[in-house]
Structure 1
């Protein structure tokens, strides 16, 4: 077996004692002139032989002692500083240097190294605590987190992600997104909903993505939120509200039918009927017919809600279209506050159906006979360059009493309403890529029906 010295490169062996060599040279340069002057003075002085040799021995001894002392003193300090710096480089903060002698330049170096050690220790402790907190949050957060390297291999996953994949951490790390069934998530755009079949069950997932760097290498973070439970809660809530409205409407329709049926049955079973019983039967049957007709109308309205026609879009001018619709209304003179000329792209007939229904609601709400107002403006939504038409139909009635139930099927405050009109209007506007909302005015009495539609690039004349 070769010795350690023989295994070292030649250049390394030559430079092994280089620091000590330079300290020795520096010490010699500092002390040798003084020793040389002392020897010259001794040789020039006429001293007895025993005194001459005694002084010569003292000068040479002092020279050697000073040389050894300086070399060891400086080398010890330099080695201590070097060891401390190496410990700091290896994240070992247990070493703290002591001062050599007050006022020396090495003490300033030692103080600087100790300050560096305290600063690094504090930063390392803070970073470790922050990292531990971040790791705990990542592990306990109720979303699945996956981090992929530039090659699409998984490099980080939290507990929720492991539960989703139904595998251990060792089984999934360094595996590709394709092998884990997450290729669609990695290729997906940010803030997109995907339906995925993972661990034997299909669910809807909201995908969010972000980029970060770890040790200088880029990472792709994929955040997956399970939408199944929230959607089921919303769906259950919608069904409960729908059932409550249906129960109310059907109960109101069946109550008189039941009452008149019992009365008519009792009358027909009597051997001696009271005078005018035929007219009572006719009126009772008429009530039953009206109630069944109302029930049938409600169910037909629901059928129409689920069978909206597919729009056939084309270009048409906004202002002439509004003027044509307003002319058809004879009850109140609807006012139009003209804005800039615009061109819309959509199914004119379907949009006319929605607008007529909205204007009809506005006029019926205008109990003070003050006519509704139609106005519009063009807005650019933040985050994109697309322009939108905002069309407001404002009435001056009593406003909406319960905004939460506006778009609940069959909910209505009108005596002869079906509770379907607003839903149909919203469906027509949404199939055109727009939005519809009904809100009370912020100031004053009345309500605003707001239609928002995307404008084609050539909308402005």
Structure 2
């Protein structure tokens, strides 16, 4: 029997003892009437005293239990009952529950703090609406987007905030919108929420226009740095030589070899002007790449053709399965020529170059592998006009990537894992399987 129940039972029997004794005396003791009534009075007083004692023994532990439960109900998880008392396991269970609730509250507060910091650090505007589409939560980015104080926004409906239309339609879309705090192009996403058995909606607004403007500004800065570097490289010797020739022409009389000096100076000016013209022509070529005209291209025939074009060393072709891609054959060939030229120049004079193609999860991969020293330590290999080779134009890799991306593909350049050298990969999406007589089968295969 549990300790508390045993305590109640024994106390109850003790309370009943005086009454039982009084009944025995009245029934069996040979006392006169006065003594009997005195015994009855003593029994009544003893019973009352024992009843009060038993009441305190039973009720006071229950008061303690009630106090602990009330503290839990009020959210105070710091109180603990004394273990080993009359309530035994009940106090132990309540203490364990209080510890668990205290730990969960701490974890919840830490998670809420982390969530608040995360929302505050986001550039995206975040709105949370309840089931009546009334605003219940927003982050600082959302406040800046609406250009209003937080306390004025809480409780307003989505319609009053001008956001009701954004909660309708597709869950993800791009649109141009005018908010009180900003105009531009935004990525709009919304989703359903559920909290406390009630529904709600989450709205996230991301200013993609600003991101694009920042990327555009960074691209212009990179381009201007490259253009300024190249133009200065040509204008500096031209300016220096022009000053030398002007000084020579001002002499009177002219030296005997002035004609040779003038001829050499003019040749230098012409050479640098020609180099600057080639650079600007390369820039125009990169900037005016026409849209691709897709046709069916058989990779085996195209790769074999490219290998024959290279005369400086023998390019090994590692045959793969028959793959046909939809691409502009001229642009694809130009992109691969650029990759192949880089590989051959890196592998000369004693290395080798290998060409192969394969299928990889819905993509066609064309790989150019060389035995050269490996890729240079730079993150600017695909930046237009950046080059690590003397006399290089710096547009080969940039043009190859631009062509691949125009075909919804890409280009990567990485060091080989098995040996020194570079593995250049150009990938293109493979067309979905077509039924017999489909449009892809009717296209003339290019590359043979």
TM bin, normalised by shorter chain, reads 0.7 to 0.9
Greater Cα offset, 283-292 or 433-442: 283-292
Counterpart of 1:8 in structure 2 is none
Q: CA deviation at 1:354?
A: 0.9
Check the 8 A contact 2:78/2:102 in 1, yes or no: no
SS at match of 2:230: helix
Q: What is the SS of the residue equivalent to 2:326?
A: strand
**Displacement after TM superposition at 1:310 (Å):** 1.0
Hey, what does 1:44 align to over in structure 2?
Answer: 28
1:310-329 CA deviation, whole Å, 9 max, x = no partner? Answer: 11223332212211222233
SS for the counterpart of 2:363 is strand
Aligned to 1:89: 73
**What is the RMSD computed on CA atoms of the aligned residues?**
4.2
TM-superposed deviation, 1:373: 0.7
Deviates more, 1:387-396 or 1:347-356: 387-396
What SS does the aligned partner of 2:88 have?
A: helix
Q: Find the aligned partners of 1:150 and 1:336 in 2 and give their Cα distance.
A: 64
Judge conservation of contact 1:138–1:158 (CA < 8 Å) in 2.
no
Match of 2:99 among 114, 119, 122: 119
How far is 1:393 from its partner? 0.8
Is residue 395 from structure 1 mapped to residue 402 from structure 2 by the alignment? no
**Aligned residue in 1 for 2:353:** 372
Among 432, 442, 450, the residue aligned to 2:407: 432
1:403 counterpart SS class:
coil
Indicate the residue corresponding to 2:311 in structure 1: 330
1:154 aligns with 2:116: no
What residue number does 1:56 align with? 40
Specify whether residues 365 and 96 from structure 1 end up closer, same or farther in structure 2 by C-alpha distance, changes over 3 A only.
closer
Q: CA contact under 8 A between 1:343 and 1:458: conserved in structure 2? A: no
Counterpart position of 1:168: 149
Question: CA–CA distance in 2 between the matches of 1:179 and 1:308?
Answer: 48
Q: Which whole-Å CA distance do the structure 2 matches of 1:408 and 1:128 have between them?
A: 47
TM-score (norm 2): 0.76
* Deviations 1:400-455 (CA, angstroms, capped at 9, x unpaired): 43533322332334444322222211110011111112333345432222212222
Which residue of the partner structure matches residue 361 of structure 1?
Answer: 342
- Whole-Å separation in 2 of the counterparts to 1:103 and 1:448: 76
2-side partners of 1:405 and 1:98: how far apart? 70
Residues 100-156 of structure 1: CA deviation (Å, up to 9, x unaligned): xx874xx32663475257426633662564266336525753544432335554321
Q: In the superposition, relative to structure 1, how do residues 366 and 95 fare at CA in structure 2: closer, same or farther (>3 Å)?
A: closer
C-alpha displacement at 1:32, in angstroms?
Answer: 6.5
| Cross-structure match for 2:232 | 251
Alignment of 1:456 onto 2:437 = no
- Residues 241-320 of structure 1 correspond to what in structure 2 (within 5 A)? 241-265=222-246, 273-274=254-255, 277-278=258-259, 281-282=262-263, 284-320=265-301
| Secondary structure, aligned partner of 2:360 | strand
Residue aligned with 2:26, SS: helix
Higher alpha-carbon deviation: 155-164 or 179-188 = 179-188
**CA contact under 8 A between 2:299 and 2:322: conserved in structure 1?**
yes
Q: Kindly indicate whether the alpha-carbon contact (under 8 Å) linking 1:162 and 1:168 is maintained by their aligned counterparts in 2.
A: yes
Using a 3 Å threshold, how does the CA distance of structure 1 residues 260 and 200 change in structure 2: closer, same or farther?
Answer: same
Deviation by residue 1:366-394 (Cα, 9 ceiling, x = unmatched): 222433111233334xxxxxx22332211
> Are 2:387 and 2:394, in contact at CA under 8 Å, matched by a contact in 1?
yes
Q: Name structure 2 gaps, 5 residues minimum.
A: 1-9, 435-440, 442-448
Residue 404 of structure 1: SS of its match in structure 2?
coil
Task: Give a deviation string over 1:182-208, Cα, whole Å, max 9, x none.
Answer: 554887767x88766444434676778
- The two structures have a TM-score, normalised by structure 1, of 0.74
Contact 2:223 / 2:384 at 8 angstroms: preserved in 1?
A: yes
Higher alpha-carbon deviation: 248-257 or 112-121: 112-121
Which residue number in structure 2 is paired with residue 410 of structure 1? 385
C-alpha distance in 2 between matches for 1:87 and 1:296 = 84
Indicate the residue corresponding to 2:7 in structure 1: none
User: Are residues 1:130 and 2:110 paired?
Assistant: yes
* Residues 1:126 and 1:432: Cα distance change in structure 2 (over 3 Å): same
Structure 2 CA distance for aligned equivalents of residues 453 and 138 of structure 1: 38
Q: Which runs of 5+ in 1 are unaligned?
A: 1-25, 381-386
Q: How far apart, CA to CA, are the structure 1 residues paired with 2:114 and 2:423?
A: 47
Bigger mean CA offset, 223-232 vs 120-129? 223-232
